[in-house]
Amino acid sequence: MRVFLSHSARDSVSAVRQILAALGAEVVDPFDPNAADSLEAALPDAIRQIDALVAVVDKHSPNVFYELGLAAAMGKPVLVLQAPETVLPPFLVQVHHVTSDFRDSKALRFAIEQFLKQIGNSVESPSKPRRLADAAPRSAQLKELARALGELRLDGTSMDAERILGAFLKAANVRAVERGPTDEKGADLAIWSDGISSTLGNPILVELKTGRIEQMNFGVAYSNLAYAVQAAAVATGLLLYLDRRGQRFGKPNTWVPNVFLCDLEDFASSVVRVGFDRTLLDLRNEHVHGVGR
């Protein structure tokens, strides 16, 4: 697979290039000293011959926007790696994008790997219709798995919860469910959904907390997840909990705007009712603005 790496000459993209190469991609980099001298002049032809484009966007990105425009006009899949505190122009907000400091973090590798998997599937099976992210989920299976999650409240283990939640999210058409892309405490899963990429970003780190949960332990779990989100340079975290006594928790004193929380059974019921993307957006609105679901 040929991947065009679009970036400014001022950017250090060695980690991104190494991740792409490690995942089996042939990297086309216009600033590579070994690249042909005529690559810049033949830029439209070079982009026409690639399978996808990965763009590094920061405040020094005029050439990147040009290359992104070429790729978009040719219908090439695009992944934007956005520097923290960089504001994307309006024409890029609907494009796959991930906030990253461009170091070799597991979160960055996870995002690139999921993007390449998606492209690889479409390249290898061009005749197979692509399942849309907002396609109707398998409702019967989804309801059964939601019921199973609720039954874990009294005697389920954290491993049971993680296993059933993974199956539940897949049934809800969440495209990727993986182990968390970080070694830090506070993240059990990382999930990816195209429908919320422009608002909440991808991946989303998820922490599960089950059993008899005390307020202090809940606060620690929330703080650990918030730290993991920051350490992995991702945009959003979600703490799902299932207290044995049925207790619902409010925002801890250390709450941050991009780390939400929800009872696992309530979360599953909402996903069955309105879908995964709508549930996450409602949680965001409730968490940040106090707007109830």
Q: How confident is the model at residue 186 (pLDDT cuts 50, 70, 90)?
A: low
Given this model, what pLDDT does residue 85 score? Answer: 73
User: CA Rg, the chain, in Å?
Assistant: 20
Read off φ and ψ for residue 205, nearest 5 degrees.
Answer: -85, 135
What's the whole-number average pLDDT of the chain?
Answer: 81
Question: Whole-angstrom Cα distance, residue 37 to residue 31?
Answer: 10
pLDDT for residue 209: 93
User: What is the Cα–Cα distance from 160 to 182, expressed in whole angstroms?
Assistant: 21
- At 31, the pLDDT band (50, 70, 90 cuts) reads confident
Higher pLDDT, 27 or 117: 27
Query: What is the predicted pLDDT for the residue at 119?
Result: 78
Higher per-residue confidence, 99 vs 50: 50
* pLDDT tens by residue, 89-122: 766 666 777 777 777 677 788 888 888 887 776 5
124 has a pLDDT exceeding 50: no
Please tell me which residue, 263 or 289, carries the higher pLDDT value.
Answer: 263
Q: Which run of H or of E encompasses 245?
A: none
Please state, in angstroms and rounded to a whole number, the distance separating the CA atoms of residues 229 and 206: 9
E strand or H helix at 111, and its extent? Answer: helix 106-124
- State residue 127's pLDDT score: 38
- Per residue in 128-158, pLDDT (tens digit) is 443 434 444 468 889 999 999 999 998 888 8
All domains in the chain, ordered by first residue: 2-124 (3.40.50.450), 139-289 (3.40.91)
pTM over 0.75: no
Residue 197 is predicted with a pLDDT of: 78
- Average pLDDT on 19-33 reads 87
Indicate the range of 25-34, 77-86, 119-128, 245-254 predicted with least confidence.
Answer: 119-128
33 confidence band (pLDDT: 50, 70, 90): low
Q: How many CB atoms lie within 10 A of CB 166?
A: 19
State the pLDDT at residue 58.
81
State residue 263's pLDDT score. Answer: 97
Give residue 288's pLDDT: 86
Percent pLDDT > 90 in the chain is 34
As a whole number, mean pLDDT of residues 171-196 equals 68
Burial of 290 (0-12, 13-18, 19+ CB in 10 A): exposed
Which pLDDT score, from 0 to 100, does residue 9 have?
80
Q: How far apart are CA 262 and CA 225, in angstroms?
A: 13
